[in-house]
Chains A and B, each alone.
Chain A
Amino acid sequence: MTTIAWQRRRAGLGRFWAEFRKQRAGVIGGAILLAAVALALLTPLLSDISVMDVTKATGQKLAPPSFEFPLGTDESGRSVLEMIMWGSRVSLFIGFLAALLSIGIGTVVGIAAGHFRGWLSAVLMRVTDWFLVLPSLVLALVLSAILGGSGATIILAIGITSWATTARLIRAQTLAVEARPYIERAKALGAGHWHIMSRHVLPNVAPLVLANTTLQVASAIVAESTLAFLGATSGSTSWGSLLRGAYDWGAATKGAWWYILSPGVCIVAVVLAFTLCGRALEAVLNPRLRGVSR
């Protein structure tokens, strides 16, 4: 790529950042996100993985917060705070990857459905509509039960059940982009399918994809925690499985509010942060998008 193109991109990025900074909610969301990711990455330095070992638990069972255990203990006497820290790695990791898978499938299907005409487009849209209609949680539960419980299968389950909304969005945008005159010109000059889709459609669709990705991560994290809570665990401790533990051991009826509140607040905070960020991104990119599709 030429230096001029890079300069322009950098200037564009600068403008984007200036606009984004004005979105207060989005900036707060972004800050929370970065803090959460940082904490997740730094966990091995701050704590030892042996805290999750039931046999090595040192605290009293289901004890309320104290100086030694800031967020109390679980049913085996382990520190809830450290469990949450280790759980964050799993929740965020699965959330990110599941969202990426979902976006990946959605973008490919969306662009293809928007670009090609005839039976291929019709079939793709039928399949997309079918996935859109089906209850994603139920489908994901079935998939994870069948494929077994591991991080990879959970990611697969969430990814396969949530790509449809993205596909629809991308398809609409693809149709708008391809209606523009310079695409006709490109075709007249002999541009093939791959060229048009990758060099013209994809860059124009990319901002929309970016905004959508953050929102997808938000819903993927909720999905992972719900799946883990309902029994489709990934095998490792995540915020959802922590809450399942809390439920199974009667934390609700025994009044162990720290056990129920802490993982839940983390989920809400992170998901809200992603949602605010995503909406801010949409708000910033939207006027640009509108200009692009003219």
Chain B
Amino acid sequence: MTSTIDTGLAADLAAGPASRGMWRYALTKLGGALLSIVMVVIATFFLFRLIPGDPVIAYTRDVPLSPDQINLLRKQMGLDQPVPQQFLDFLVRTFTFDFGTSYEYRRPVLDLIGERFGPTLLLTGVGVIISVALGLWQGTRAAWKHGGRFDRYSTAVSLVLWSVPTFWLGLLLLMTLASGIGPIPGLFPTRGMESVDSPDGFAYVLDVAHHMVLPCLTLVAVVYAQYLLVMRSSLLDEIGQDYVVTARAKGLRDDLVRRRHAVPNALLPTVTLVFIHIGFVVGGAVSVEYVYSWPGLGLLFVEAIKGPDFPVMQGTFIVVCVAVIIMNTLADVLYHVLDPRVRST
């Protein structure tokens, strides 16, 4: 068996007409992603022009300024230019990662984003990995024993979790497990990513992990249900196919039929859908970061709403959207690589 696989893979890796098609496909998808990103930037520019009121006043807030100072600021912010010129400036600045200065923090937005990016990546990354593993595993189990107790139970649980707003689940966990209520003691920290007296070395890692448990749990609870339902329905579609019966007829054990035949086919649409739902995960992350005061991009964004701190909102919005678009493009390319039916076209 291994020999046929090896020769197959080797043939694929050696460039052939099919791989050339694959590169062409990847380039097309990349072009599409670029177009989407440009659309995001354009949309952002026009969106933030809808802001009522004078940006200069918003920037200077409570500080009274003379008309000369206001005009100077206006010139500095490029607001005295005609709109097309402002648009060009905006494009150039955005693609050189100059997102302006925060009203609130008086620091370059890029710096703020840089600081907050890591924590968000950590929380979302770990959350997605756990959700995918859990969701796919449980979804497989539910579909394989379709109609059984586990299937009905997990579908019901998924439905309920879908109806629970992420932030409320966070509040509940905060109330019960972090602060403790009644007889239950507070087991976890109530806010932030690290303790005030932050330790060093390995103890630091443990400290962060301790702080990450509840936010991660909240994020996973809502997200994994989605993956479960997707995997379940994909696998149910495959189970009904003739080739699964053929596999059984060949004398394969039940778990081999599942692992070698049904699941690989079911994974294809599931993988794509997992990436497509990244937008949903991002939304969940925003809520979770706010409830637990996790110092990530989501918290930065929500705090900017209060101001409103428009440069921060603008910059974070663009960064988040671009990240999601990149993830989706990766999903497309990945699907193309994994599915032999699409590969040779």
Contact = CB atoms under 8 A, between A and B. Distances in A.
Given A145-B313, A146-B47, A257-B181, A133 B168 contact: no
A34 interface: no
Majority DSSP secondary structure for residues of B touching A: helix
Interface stretch (A2-10, A38-46, A49-57, A247-255): A247-255
Interface string A4-27: 000000000000000000000000
Interface centre among B163, B280, B290, by most chain A C-beta atoms within 10 angstroms, is B163
Contact of B179 (A226, A231, A252): A252
A157 to B, nearest CB: 11
B305 A147 contact: no
B172 A146 contact: no
Interface in A221-279: 222, 225-226, 229-232, 240, 243, 246-247, 251-255, 257, 260-261, 264, 267-268, 271-272, 275-276
B328 to A, nearest CB: 5
B175 A135 contact: no
Interface stretch (A80-88, A136-144, A196-204, A206-214): A136-144
A135 B50 contact: no
Contacts of B163: 218, 222, 267-268, 271-272, 275
Contacts of A268: 160, 163-165, 168
A130 interface: yes
Contacts, number: 130
Chain B residues touching A, range: 35 or more
Given A146-B51, A231-B302, A246 B171 contact: yes
A146 B302 contact: no
Given A142-B47, A243-B171, A272 B324 contact: no
Nearest to B328: A133
A138 B171 contact: no
A134 interface: yes
B279 A267 contact: no
B167 A243 contact: yes
A282 B144 CA distance: 24
A49 to B, nearest CB: 26
B159 A276 contact: yes
Interface of A: 126, 130, 132-139, 141-143, 145-148, 218, 222, 225-226, 229-232, 240, 243, 246-247, 251-255, 257, 260-261, 264, 267-268, 271-272, 275-276
Pairs of residues from A and B, 8 with the lowest C-beta to C-beta distance, nearest first: A137-B283, A135-B279, A271-B163, A272-B163, A135-B282, A264-B168, A252-B175, A252-B174
Interface of B: 35-36, 39-40, 47-48, 50-52, 159-160, 162-168, 171-172, 174-175, 178-179, 181-182, 190, 276, 278-280, 282-283, 286-287, 290-291, 301-302, 305-306, 308, 313, 317, 320-321, 324-325, 328
11 contacts: A135-B320, A136-B279, A142-B317, A145-B305, A145-B313, A146-B47, A148-B52, A246-B171, A252-B171, A257-B181, A268-B168
